[in-house]
Amino acid sequence: MLPAEASSYWSDQQRLTASTLALVRRLWRRMQQGDLDETWFRIAGPMLIAVLQAQEEAARAAVDYVPAVLGATNIDAVPEGAVQTSALVGVAGDGRPVDSLLVGARVAAKNAVAAGQSRAQAVDAGGRWLNTAVSTLLSDTGRAAESVGIAARPGVGYVRMLNPPSCSRCVVLAGKYYRWNRGFRRHPGCDCRHIPARESMSDDLRVEPRRYFESLPQAAQESTFGVAGSQAIRDGADLGQVVNANRGTQTAQVFGRQLDITLEGVTRRGRAYRAMSEAGYVQRQGELRATGERYRSWRAPRLMPETIYRIADDRADALRMLRLYGYLD
């Protein structure tokens, strides 16, 4: 059965997301009055603080979650470093700073006004954008901390856990064992999670695709997989053949735009900056500057965990880069 620790962790993360979204929505409702830009500048600071605090809480809970599940499943895996949650706070899954992410809600509202929508409709549009952005951000933060905790433990990978109700794209990805360096594919608003493991766990409907499908009433099956697709699955077709699992899902760093780096968290005072300086990386970054690239205040670009897993030669190389960029001590 699915470890109780996994269910408890997910419930806690869900409550954290819900409480954060409630606060964000209260602040956003102020956009209904006054100039959009002026009102945004008044609420942006409190909103950013609330989201950063939630990120920190999500990351810390994820760090504790990984060893709790491994202990519950009798997997002895000593970590080769401690996850540094501070490296995951202040940056979104695609590498952009969180304040830059949040301002997208104001942009969405102003675009709606420019398209001829009423003030109320524009604020609703921005609110929907903000809701998806913040919920995805907190899920990404937790997943990033989980992934670093998994990578730090030799021989440990993960199984993808569904959080019903789930879309067809997520269902076909669930129930499989993935190595530590396999990027976690997701879509905006996705709240699936890692279950740290050494072998596939397929005895729970939240990780076994066909059992999940069969647990749904016919109307829900057809809503999720389409009428024809649902009938094909009931007739014995393979879920993976019915659903194109890769369509609409991406690993975190390339969600939204093609980024390989983040500049967040690597100023001269930052831990990542010191580690990168000691390794000579910041000096080499200066050579990039000479070729036309510009980095304000001598900030050095920092790879996100997903990109590190993708480009690392092996696990030892991945751990080296996780330390280099401040994710592990």
CA distances for 58 relative to 14, 248, 250, angstroms: 10, 25, 21
* Cα–Cα distance for residue pair 251/98, rounded to 1 Å: 18
Rounded CA-CA distance 206/92 in Å is 27
| Residue-averaged pLDDT of the chain | 81
Confidence (pLDDT) at 241: 73
Residue 145's contacts (CB-CB under 8 Å, 6 or more residues apart) are: 58, 59, 60, 62, 63, 83, 85, 88
- Condensed to tens digits (0 to 9), the pLDDT of residues 283-322 reads 433 333 333 333 333 344 568 888 888 888 898 999 998 9
Beta-bridge mates of residue 195:
159
Q: For residue 31, which of 158, 123, 159 has the smallest C-alpha distance?
A: 123
Percent helix, strand and coil across the chain, each to the nearest 5:
60, 5, 35
Q: What is the CA radius of gyration of the chain?
A: 21
Paired sense of beta strands 177-178 and 157-161, if any: antiparallel
Give, in order, the Cα–Cα distances in Å from 8 to each of 2, 4, 68.
Answer: 11, 6, 11
Q: Per residue in 59-90, pLDDT tens?
A: 999 999 999 999 998 889 999 999 999 999 99
The average pLDDT across 229-233 equals 84
pLDDT (tens digit, 9 = 90+) per residue, 134-190? Answer: 999 999 999 999 999 999 999 898 888 777 778 887 887 877 788 887 766 766 667
At residue 305, φ and ψ (nearest 5 deg) are -55, -45
CB 98 within 8 A of CB 91: yes
> Which carries the bigger pLDDT value, residue 263 or residue 163?
163
Please name the residues in contact with 229: beta carbons below 8 A apart, sequence gap of 6 or more. Answer: 168, 242, 243
Instruction: Answer whether residue 7 shows pLDDT above 90.
Output: no
Q: CA 4, CA 139: separation in Å to the nearest integer?
A: 19
